Every structure is written in structure tokens, then in C-alpha cells.
Amino acid sequence: MVMMMMMVMMMVMMVMMMMVVVMMMMMMMMMMMMMIMRSPLVVRGEEEEQEEEQEEEQEEEEEEERRSRRTRGGEEEQEEEERRRRRRRRKRRRRRGGGGEEEEEERRKRRSRRRRRRRRGGGGGEEEQEVSGFMHGVSSHVSCFLSSSSSSSSFFSSPFLFFLLLSSSSSSSSTCMLPVTSLVFKLHEVQFTSEEMRR
């Protein structure tokens, strides 16, 4: 029993000694690392890196100051460049067939025309009525013009009656042409409204 106890104690002591040796080795390694880190070469390298970083920061600050000065002194130049760019964009839009402003103006005009049509109560039935009225008026004016021309041909023999007929035919033609022009304008409006409705 005593021998067994002695053996156990010896084993424990050996383990403790091994642990102490390992701890001492770890401490020595740590000390060596600290010494290497505190060496003058490493310290000089760190100082150089810090100086380089400070120099870079100073250079960046100087560049920013220069840029700010340039921007302060070149605000007018920037404004002129922006104006030139805007003019170029407007010219490009006009060359392409009208820019956004012209399209907006055209849309506004179309909207105003549609509103006018709605107020007038425009529709397909009214357009048909206008076309039929136009055709009827044209036929009546054509018959009037033909009658005036036939009367001029019948009374062409006598000179006195010829002058009277010229005056009457001119007056009748003027009275016939006035409503014809009004009807032509109406037809033009009807065609314009039909084209816009198709759009």
C-alpha cells in the first residue's frame, strides 16, 4: 500500500513538473515575442508607417482644399457649362423632332380641342349632318351657278342685256360663292376633327 501511494505521488509530481515546464516555455515564448515587437527596427517601421499615413492625410486635405477653391472660383464656369449642356440638349430634342416641351404643348392643344368639341357636343352624328348639309349646299350653289351661266348664254345676243347680265351674274356669283366658302371652311373643320378623333 505504501509503495502504491508513493508511486501515485511520484506520478502526480511528474505531471505537475511537466505543467510547470510547459508554462515556463510559454512564458519564454511570450517574452521573446515581446522583445521582437519592441525591437528598434519594428518601432522604426511603425513610425514610418504612421508618418506616411499622416502625409497621405495631409495631401488629401490639401487636394480637397484646392478642389473647394477651384469650385468656389469656377462656379461661374460650371454654370456656363450647364447652360451650354442644356442648350445642346434642347437643340438635340428639336432636331429629333421636338422635345418634351413641344410634346406637352401639343398635348395641351389636343386636350383643349377635345374640350371644345365636348362643349360643342361634337360626335359622329353631327359630323354626318354637317357633311350632308355641305353636299346639299354645294348642289344648290352649283345649280345657282349653272342657272346664271345659262342666262348669260341666252342673253348674249344683245349688248345692253349682256352688260346687265354681267352685273347680275357677278352679283349672283358673289352671293353664291360666299356660302360656298363658308361650307368649304366647315368641311375643313370636319376633316380636321375626324383626323383628331382617329388619333
DSSP assignment of 127-173 equals HHHHHHHHHHHHHHHHHHHHHHHHHHHHT-SSHHHHHHHHHHHHHHH
Of the candidates 163, 171, 165, which has an alpha carbon nearest to the alpha carbon of residue 152? 165
> How many angstroms separate the first and last alpha carbons of the chain?
117
Region at 97 (left for phi over 0; alpha for psi -120 to 50; beta for the rest): left
pLDDT value of position 101: 59
pLDDT value of position 23: 93
Of the candidates 135, 141, 117, 133, which has an alpha carbon nearest to the alpha carbon of residue 194? 117
Instruction: Report residues of the chain scoring pLDDT below 70.
Output: 38-43, 71-76, 94-104, 119-199
Q: Kindly report, residue by residue over 155-165, the tens digit of the pLDDT.
A: 444 444 444 44
pLDDT value of position 18: 93
Q: How does 106-144 read in b/e, with b if 16+ C-beta sit within 10 Å?
A: eeeeeeeeeeeeeeeebeeeebeebeeebeeeeeebeeb
- Longest pairwise C-alpha distance within the chain: 176
Whole-number Cα distances in Å, 185 to 46, 101, 147, 168, 188: 94, 31, 25, 26, 5
Give the domain ranges of the chain: 130-199
- Rounded to whole angstroms, the Cα distance separating 76 from 12 reads 88
